[in-house]
Amino acid sequence: MKISGILFLVSSVFTKKLQFAPSGPFHEKCQAGSYPEKRVLWRPKSAEINLDLAPIERWSELAKTYSKELHAAVNDVVVLADKIDAKIVPFVREKLPELAETLPQNYVDEMSSLSQGAGLPFGDIVLFNIFYEAFSACTSVVAKNGSGGVHHARNMDFGLFLGFDFKNMTWSLTEALRPSLIHLDFLKNGELQFSSASFIGYVGIFTAVKKQKFSLTINERFNIDGGWVGILEWILGKHSANWLGFLTRDLFEKCDDFRCAQDLLKTAEMVSPVYFVLASGERPLGEIIVRDREDVSQTVKIGEESDPSKSSSWFLLQTNYDPSQEPPFFDDRRHPALKCISELSSENASGENFITKEALFDVLSTKPSLNMLTVYTSLIDIQEGSIESFVRECPFPCTPW
């Protein structure tokens, strides 16, 4: 999209948002009875990834089966990257041999498996995987469930400022990614290790659960020292940082408890700043880890706040702004979500607040938590080790983000 088009979109949206009170078209009453069909387009297909296979073989079958969806999503990323800067795609392709040498070999092999299976250039698969370091915008919630544990849920919003279609009022990349959503079960020795909600062609982790151990969702952190800075540093030779998706895959393959996951997410140097939203399957624990690329900026845990209407009391809520700061007026998904969590929660016999998964789905089905960028909603059951995912639609009028 041309810069002038982006500025027009931003200015028009900002103006409209200033005109509307919370009862306007971009805000609404908290949804009720949404689960499992309201504002849902479809449920994703499922596949298994056999970790006993060599990395070069793991994704071949999936790539062949879903070649059409993978081609469409990767092509859209390549086209949009080219629109951002015509030098990005040629540069990645030119630097690919030396770039691939610096990435973890197992993930290089897995991306090669996708490339060969789908008949796509290896460089485009690499670009598709690293592109996620820069353009997501999400909402994650961890909340007590009334049974001694927690629910974990998220909206994945993706494609901000990437090809807005004014005719159809949609984001191009968001539309391309919806058909590529897939539920993945990762197996070893024939047994389930962990599950994730992912996109066909992406080898990393953004939404995942390890049964009775922990769950994790990732939210982008908007920061001037952001993803593109880390990517450029990597290309120019600084290789001490971890790529987000590769780190989180490692975490689910190596960690068997909440503490191990905490430690890894707090100590690893990152290519991109990020919010890690982590929940425990052993106790009603949840934590938001606010990461700079090199250090932890802040942590927020369940139980730190006494006011039950606020995040870090009996629940956690994270969008794309630091918990210690107010969100900007043009992207305030936090306060409408807080309002709905408060309205839709319940109290048990001992006076403790909790929320059902159905009510949590209602929270994430209410505008502006649900918006034009929302690709999917996931509800995670840590005890069962399951993820329910739903490809979403936001009925017009709907906020662009």
Residue tagged active-site, from 30, 138, 255, 340: 138
Q: Where are the alpha helices (DSSP H) in 209-257?
A: 227-235, 244-254
**What gap in Å lies between CA 3 and CA 99, rounded to an integer?**
29
Q: What angle do CA 103, 104, 110 make, to 5 degrees?
A: 100
**What gap in Å lies between CA 314 and CA 367, rounded to an integer?**
23
Paired with 156 in beta bridges are: 138, 376
What would the two tokens of residue 118 be?
């789908």
**What gap in Å lies between CA 55 and CA 109, rounded to an integer?**
5
What would the two tokens of residue 393 be?
């639609």
Catalytic residue status for 138: yes
328: buried, middle or exposed (CB in 10 Å: 19+, 13-18, 0-12)? exposed
CB count within 10 Å of CB 82 equals 13
**What gap in Å lies between CA 286 and CA 141, rounded to an integer?**
9
Identify the CA nearest to 22 among candidates 378, 381, 368: 368
Active site residues: 138
